[in-house]
Structure 1
């Protein structure tokens, strides 16, 4: 069944957290010390036996496309296998992708010429582990036209989230946008994973194009059909009226991946920071060390990470409850409850606490950093302090509602 599936991964939007997507699309944002966000979706495809994967790219896509080349050139083209980046081809006009539905329309020819029986639609900006092969099997067993993977969502996150309403047979009956529910009322939400029969998807793209083109011509002729459209609110509602749409509950016992039921959209700086810090717990909600579903990525041929005494003080480098990637060196400094990507340097007497340091960050002697995210190649000068004076931090950097300071790429502090 996976061999009869064509997979689209959407990585066309800038996305959030905004301070980290100034130089890259959300799917290319570094995560968990060595990965990119899209690695989790691609690893799901790999382990699920999906070998025909198209990654739709657009916003500042160079970093993502380089990563796909370096980390994911795994498949054999002679066997019809591929992971291919597809920027806007402009086959239907001169427009860029105007949203996910418009991206599908512009690449309709790729769907038509595929021998696939169903199309898997995935958001490349999410972190979770899932056996898509089992989802596809359930889709075929139910003889569904569309299957939408759903996750339980707490009412505290209800505002801005689509609530799905299912009957006892797990058929979707309807959805509510921006639900207002009682504080103790749970509901199901879409998780950015859909299986659609190929013929049905082609028919629906035609119908949506006709309807939205008419609406767009009346409102804004320059706006492409489907601009800003997401799949949950634009693809599902018309299908619910005339097709069988089933829900597939995420985190069940079906499938080969251990069901940790972890899902995150990293939708803000604070959400991104919390997701990384959660990986440092004794029993993290997302276990990166499970051998049955490892996450692949690209990492350069760097030397081993190590701690060494400081040249001036002679103090040992200290490394406590943190992630330390290859090529990083702690020279007499102290690192606690932090995530360090490759080639990070922490010098003598520097203190790094509850902080995320991207690749190539250098922290000078005696510097102190806490509650901070330093983007790639940041240089923190000797004696600098970040995360101790909110007013001073806000004058220089982006500071989240929960007080997380984000230092932009290449900044010298």
Structure 2
């Protein structure tokens, strides 16, 4: 079944709510958990599901994402066996516009899909965190004789207005679809829960092409799957909802849209807990990524009687090449090639690759992007008003974010490097 399936991954979103982390990279390329990028979760799901033909549609700031795909993923696919992962930038082969919506992104790339002659097309968003076997969903789609199948997640009604919300019958046939409704319709069995779209779709190819071509000529359409294609298809076609089956093997189903800085921070901080909701250590459903050729992490200075100068990390993730040279780290994620110098303290924070923390510096509840150097004796995250006055991004919860390329001057100001 999966050999007749082609997957299209939408990875072109701006990710503006994650600014400044998305100033130089697309949202799917944002690092997470120290050793991964957001896109790695969807791509790992594809590989673990037996999907071997993928088109990755990019648009904004795609260079970092393109480089990561070449480094981390190209070796898993053999072109001679008909396997591939192709990064497809906007071609403007149909008109002069960039992608106008999710449906338009696929429509503008029909020319790249047709030569593969797939029976089914799986459409995925490249910026969500979850574990799922797409083969089960494709098999469900085939057995039902469906035209469209939508991945469905049960969510509290209080949170459902940020999703597409579905109503189904006992056979999972879709009866209604509301895109981000102000008053979501609850499920039939629980007035406090709703059935939300996960942005995961399986289409029968001929049906999809017909509907995309119809939608492209509609001047009133947003050219979006959730707003246009699916609601219209319910009226005259076989549209089903597929209940999310979580491969994470935890009590509660795990699916996250890390679309804001605070949501992104919380998802990372969960990973350093004793029993994280997202299991990265599952050999049965591995999450793959690029592993740079770097030495293992190193902790130095820890002799008795010098407890204030001790390279220590507790409840933390420490990546390759990092050196804790007499610094203290707790409840944090330290990226590759970082250096925490003597007497420095890093708490409840996320450091991307190549960050240097100077002696006696103190960092708390911060996200520091790649290559930033924190001068000695600098404090970040202890006084939100002072951090904001420096020009740093401070969220309503007090989380401090330092962008890539920002120059930190001790006790003074922040300016962007040219």
What TM-score does the superposition give when structure 2 sets the normalisation length? 0.91
1:58-97 matched pairs, under 5 angstroms: 58-73=59-74, 74-97=76-99
Tell me which residue corresponds to 1:219.
Answer: none
Equivalent-residue separation in structure 2 for 1:185 and 1:326 (angstroms): 45
Q: Give a deviation string over 1:210-234, Cα, whole Å, max 9, x none.
A: 213xx3xxxxxxxxx74xx542222
1:356 is aligned, of 338, 345, 350, to: 350
1:289 is aligned, of 281, 286, 299, to: 281
Q: Does the residue aligned with 1:13 lie in a helix, a strand or coil?
A: coil
Contact 2:233–2:239, Cα closer than 8 Å, also in 1: yes
Residue 141 (structure 1) shift: 0.9
Residue 96 (structure 1) shift: 2.2
Q: Does the residue aligned with 2:284 lie in a helix, a strand or coil?
A: helix
Residue 105 (structure 1) shift: 1.4
What is the Cα-based RMSD across aligned positions, in Å?
A: 1.8
Residue 275 (structure 1) shift: 0.3
Equivalent-residue separation in structure 1 for 2:286 and 2:137 (angstroms): 19
What TM-score does the superposition give when structure 1 sets the normalisation length? 0.92
Tell me which residue corresponds to 1:222.
Answer: none
Tell me which residue corresponds to 2:119.
Answer: 117
1:334 is aligned, of 320, 328, 337, to: 328
Q: Does the residue aligned with 2:274 lie in a helix, a strand or coil?
A: coil
Equivalent-residue separation in structure 2 for 1:106 and 1:410 (angstroms): 35
Tell me which residue corresponds to 1:156.
Answer: 158
Equivalent-residue separation in structure 2 for 1:300 and 1:290 (angstroms): 21
* Bigger Cα displacement from structure 2, 5-14 vs 178-187: 178-187
Q: Give a deviation string over 1:18-49, Cα, whole Å, max 9, x none.
A: 22111111110000111000000000110111
Contact 1:128–1:262, Cα closer than 8 Å, also in 2: yes
Gaps in structure 1 of 5+ consecutive residues: 216-224
Contact 2:165–2:184, Cα closer than 8 Å, also in 1: no
Contact 1:37–1:124, Cα closer than 8 Å, also in 2: yes
1:12-411 matched pairs, under 5 angstroms: 12-15=12-15, 16-73=17-74, 74-176=76-178, 177-180=180-183, 185-212=192-219, 215=220, 226=222, 229-251=223-245, 258=249, 261-309=253-301, 315-395=309-389, 396-411=391-406
Gaps in structure 2 of 5+ consecutive residues: 409-418
Contact 2:8–2:55, Cα closer than 8 Å, also in 1: yes
Residue 402 (structure 1) shift: 1.4
Equivalent-residue separation in structure 2 for 1:135 and 1:30 (angstroms): 28
Q: Give a deviation string over 1:282-324, Cα, whole Å, max 9, x none.
A: 211110000001111112101110110189x682211100000
Structure 1 outlier segments of 4+, above 6 Å: none
Equivalent-residue separation in structure 2 for 1:348 and 1:317 (angstroms): 8
Equivalent-residue separation in structure 2 for 1:244 and 1:42 (angstroms): 28
Q: Is the alpha carbon distance of 1:393 and 1:44 closer, same or farther for their aligned partners in structure 2, counting shifts above 3 Å?
A: same
Equivalent-residue separation in structure 2 for 1:69 and 1:358 (angstroms): 20
Contact 1:310–1:348, Cα closer than 8 Å, also in 2: no
Contact 2:133–2:245, Cα closer than 8 Å, also in 1: no
Q: Is the alpha carbon distance of 1:100 and 1:173 closer, same or farther for their aligned partners in structure 2, counting shifts above 3 Å?
A: same
Contact 1:163–1:179, Cα closer than 8 Å, also in 2: no
Equivalent-residue separation in structure 1 for 2:83 and 2:184 (angstroms): 45
